[in-house]
């Protein structure tokens, strides 16, 4: 059993540590004081927030029923297709980014690609792709696929690097090929975790589909943005409730599948 021990101080001298803490607190104070707060806007925002809360408590599913249905269906389509495509593409990148099974050139390339894909938020990628391919679900599909590759690829690589090495060494000693090593020694150890992460990414992709829809990348985000712009908070509340229910259903389903696999 490992017992946690406090790591050594990066700055051994107590006076220097105190000086650095004071410097940090001074910087934090200056940063907080430099934030421009318009209290009139804050009060107006609180009033709108109460109206939105009232609309959330009494949602309107009928006024924009067609728009909500079409937006939810498009978001689900984008989410499912981008998640599946991202999972399939993350497998080679994840295995290539694992130091213990990939050649160094492949490892460096896959690690660099994953790092780049994780360095940008989905909405930034969506704005760029909308500018390239125009408004619609195709830009949303590409955005979420790209994000899924970086997310799952990194976590899969870390899982592979943390596997039981004895199983891998035993398979290597038999003269097994690289694919046989992956199939017999690696994949059974990482599969349950990969399934759980895939459903977790599905949840993220569905929520992100609402965000990127605001910039024209398809999905329910456009309907939600229109409802908020027109102060139709009851319709916006209906959209948010549907999103919450779908995410909760996915969470329950992923938990059941993880339990079944394990």
Q: What is the DSSP string of 190-232?
A: HHHHHHHHHHHHHHHHHHHHHHHGGGTSSSTHHHHHHHHHTT-
Lowest mean pLDDT across 116-120, 139-143, 170-174, 258-262: 258-262
Spatial contact of 171 and 181, defined as CB atoms under 8 Å apart: yes
Spatial contact of 240 and 224, defined as CB atoms under 8 Å apart: yes
Beta carbons within 8 Å of 245's beta carbon, 6+ residues apart: none
- For all residues of the chain together, what is the average pLDDT? 83
Beta carbons within 8 Å of 78's beta carbon, 6+ residues apart: 137, 140, 141, 144, 205, 209, 218, 219
**Mean pLDDT within 144-167:** 87
pLDDT band at 4 (very low <50, low <70, confident <90, very high): low
d(CA 219, CA 188): 36
The residue among 75 and 165 whose pLDDT is bigger is 75
d(CA 80, CA 75): 9
Give the percent of the chain with pLDDT over 90: 16
pLDDT value of residue 88: 93
What backbone phi and psi angles, to 5 degrees, belong to 5? -125, 145
pLDDT value of residue 185: 78
d(CA 200, CA 194): 10
pLDDT band at 262 (very low <50, low <70, confident <90, very high): low
Domains in the chain, start-ordered, CATH in brackets? Answer: 64-261 (1.10.3720.10)
Lowest mean pLDDT across 24-28, 126-130, 249-253: 249-253
Count CA within 13 A, CB hemisphere, residue 58: 4
pLDDT value of residue 239: 86
């Amino acid at each position: 059993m490992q017992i946690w021990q406090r790591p050594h101080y990066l700055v051994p001298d107590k006076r220097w540590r105190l000086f650095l803490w004071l410097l940090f607190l001074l910087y934090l104070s200056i940063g907080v004081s430099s934030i421009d707060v318009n209290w009139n806007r804050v009060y107006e925002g609180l009033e709108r927030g109460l109206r939105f809360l009232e609309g959330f408590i009494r949602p309107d599913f009928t006024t924009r029923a067609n728009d909500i249905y079409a937006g939810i269906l498009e978001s689900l389509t984008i989410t499912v297709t981008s998640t599946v495509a991202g999972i399939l593409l993350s497998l080679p990148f994840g295995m290539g980014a694992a130091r213990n099974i990939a050649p160094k050139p492949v490892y460096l390339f896959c690690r660099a690609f994953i790092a780049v894909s994780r360095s940008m938020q989905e909405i930034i990628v969506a704005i760029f792709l909308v500018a390239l391919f125009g408004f619609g679900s195709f830009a949303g599909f590409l955005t979420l696929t790209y994000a899924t590759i970086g997310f799952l690829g990194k976590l899969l690589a870390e899982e592979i690097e943390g596997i039981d090495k004895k199983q891998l060494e035993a398979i290597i000693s038999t003269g097994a090929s690289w694919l046989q090593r992956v199939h017999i020694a690696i994949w059974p150890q990482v599969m349950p975790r990969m399934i759980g992460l895939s459903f977790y990414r599905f949840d993220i992709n569905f929520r992100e589909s609402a965000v990127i829809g605001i910039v024209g990348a398809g999905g329910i985000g456009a309907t939600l943005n229109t409802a908020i712009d027109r102060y139709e908070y009851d319709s916006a509340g209906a959209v948010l409730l549907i999103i919450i229910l779908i995410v909760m259903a996915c969470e329950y389903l992923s938990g059941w599948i993880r339990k079944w696999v394990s």
